[in-house]
Amino acid sequence: MSKRACLCAISVFVLVFVFVSFLFRGSSPASSGAPPATVWDRIMEEQSLMNLRKGYMLMEAEQYPDAANEFLKAIARTPNEPYARILYGSSLYWLGEPDKATAEFKTAVQLDPGRGEYHLWLARVALDQNDLGKANEEVGLALERDSSLGDAYWVRGRTRLRAGMVQDALLDLARALELSPGRVDAYADRGDCYDELGDRAPAIREYERAIALDASHGRWWYRLGRLRVDAGRQAEARSALVHAVTLGDAETRAPAWLADAHRLTGDLMRGSDRARALAHYRRYLELAPPSAIDRADVQAAVSQLGG
């Protein structure tokens, strides 16, 4: 996954689907119905296709503002093409403009109501905004239209997990992995499910699976580290937490879990590496809010270590 995985990153499946379905369909007419009525219409469609191809390549390079500009040009030339709306909306989603993205996804649904992928986009935005009712509604519409959408089961699994329906979430996430084996996030989500159930061993196993496939997510390392601490696997926990804080500190904005990751790393290093333990405790004190429950204990630990 790329840089916004923690926000329910973009659906690669959907982008590939629309790219293959539209960008390589040759010179077939736009999905709105009749073939171009004039030579000028045909030219506009071909120009739109070029903009979408360029925009898609920019998206893959994570150049989202430039990609959005190309998709907007395509929309200007073929305003009734739903794929252009989906791609433009996805670029806005990456740029942190969910309301504008939602408007584009809704327009795509209006232009072509039969596509489950379009409802899936609406479900993902709703889930990001913690609107579980809307997310569940949209993912249901997506699956009504296409029951083979692996990402739809993934989104429904995450929605059910947040709603406390943990066993149902596990079933959905297993189905998501059957249909979309590359949806690595589903392993981590299953780890969250087992952790919620208090079943530590499978939780650790699922996080290890996720990290084995994609080691770039600091939160996954943090969750694995915490679980290993609880399981008494201190050396393995320390290794995981070092990975977590390294990745977390490299992010532009400190993630919510980073302060606690530094605290735990300091605890694990306290008896063997005083200088590094102090560095982690001090980083915790920089990040944690004044009301943090562990703040007083960390301040005491810093004083005991001579910091």
Closest among 182, 244, 177, 257 to 217, alpha carbons compared: 244
Average confidence (pLDDT) over 22-44: 51
Buried b (16+ CB within 10 A) or exposed e, 269-304: bbeeeeeebbbbbebbbebbeeebeebeebeebbee
Kindly tell me if the per-residue pLDDT of 30 is higher than 70: no
Residue 302's Cβ-side half-sphere holds a number of Cα atoms within 13 Å equal to 17
In this predicted model, which residue has the larger pLDDT, 280 or 32? Answer: 280
Cβ-contact 248, 280 below 8 angstroms: no
Distance CA 116, CA 244 (A): 36
Kindly tell me if the per-residue pLDDT of 139 is higher than 80: yes
Q: What class has domain 1-112?
A: mainly alpha
> Binning pLDDT at 50, 70 and 90, where does residue 16 land?
low
pLDDT score of 2: 39
Task: State the pTM of this model.
Answer: 0.83
Rounded to the nearest integer, the mean pLDDT of the chain is 88
* Per-residue model confidence as pLDDT tens digits over 150-170: 999 999 999 999 999 999 999
pLDDT score of 306: 85
Distance CA 103, CA 73 (A): 17
Q: Where are the domains of the chain?
A: 1-112
* Per-residue model confidence as pLDDT tens digits over 44-85: 677 888 898 899 889 888 899 999 999 999 999 989 989 899
